[in-house]
Structure 1
Amino acid sequence: MFEVKGLSSGYGRVPVLREVDFSLAQGECIGFLGRNGMGKTTLLRAIMGELPTWSGEIRKAGQSLNGKSTQARARAGIGYVPQGKQLFKLLTVEENLRMGCVKNFRGAEVKVAQVLDLFPRLVPLLDRQAGMLSGGEQQLLALGRCLCGDPDLILLDEPTEGIQPSICDEIIDVLIQLRKERNLSIMLVEQDIDFLWSICDHILAVDKGSVVKTIDPKAEGSTEQAKAFIGIEG
């Protein structure tokens, strides 16, 4: 359902991504693992259209996204939860969720209710400003707002950063549920190996803007292999 072939991109004249290739099936979850500064966030931003495609092609359901705006890619069913969440911090939780319904404001009430079923922790916080939430609650809200756009593919950038373990577990449970019930596809950039291994079918190791190896999280010794790749001892 999604394919990247020979993708190169960067900032200004500075190259970051170098001929990245991978594909994603409907309902599949792939993780991107690598040290900081290796191009993982740049990859998600290029897929979302926030950065230009210098060469190569991005295709979804057989249709090229090259040259398409970020808004057009969202309308094509791609949702994005960036690192740092980028919430509307002066708006309430409910208002943030409604902002996620831009493709169908008329159906916002139903969609928000469906998302709150996934994240009941947000229900008593609906009238609270997003900026007043804890880091974990803000992450749930950012993911919930993304899901209000009804995507069939979501890009998640470091969702566990600064988040307490109980909310990390909650995010894992919701993502597993969405894969089963909605056949949702997921691309996940994450440094937490346990989080990646809990939901991903394949792990793509990224180094200096290129995918250098594929790790099977089900294979014996894969955790140790991943830790060695990003320089974690033990």
Structure 2
Amino acid sequence: MENKTINKILIVEDEESIRGFIKINLKMNNFMVLEASSGEEGVKKAKLEKPDVVILDVMLPGIDGFKVCSILREEFPKIGIIMLTAKSQDMDKIMGLEYGADDYIIKPFNPLELTLRIKALLRRVVEDEKNEATNLIYGGEFRIDTYSQKIYKGDLELEITPTEYMIMKIFMQNPGKAFSRDELLDIVWGYDFIGDSKIVDVNIRRLRSKIEECPSKPQYIKTVWGTGYRWQNP
């Protein structure tokens, strides 16, 4: 059953009409909704309320959405972040992902699409491993503890986002299997993704920077030219 617990969603958006529009639709889906109209207020509310997902506008008064995203990601590695942008340029999307966002959506958007993306993200944020035969997954020098949703390289715990966790889990459970970008979109994002498949490449690049000794010459996440990516245990 979905949404047994009430999930907190923080909307950081300076336009009151858009905030209200999002709030109404989220409340109809039984989410607890928090609001902030500036970047500074968004950071304060996130630290105080610890929401499950933050809906974060790029263009904000004071500190912008990219900076807020960076602050929240550093302080709350497991928080879900979806960026809102009124621009369609690839650079805005990619910048949001590089700063640690899990997803992005372009205004104007269908409220159903936003709700589906939030629910898909919550499936990555909230632990749901009851059917796992074991709590541990091993791959090379890496280990995933599915109970705590933590990933270790040797004895060092890695600071990863919920999306990066899901990608690593999929790879380490299927060593040697080549995944196309479309397959990863379907499995990780969990909906018929409308947008640029570069979201996969950006997350892979970000993940490589955290796990590889030399990200430009990866040992673990190999590029399969013309297809996508696969995990290799050295």
Q: TM-score, normalised by structure 1?
A: 0.32
Query: Larger relative CO (CA 8 A, sep 6+): 1 or 2?
Result: 1
Q: TM-score, normalised by structure 2?
A: 0.32
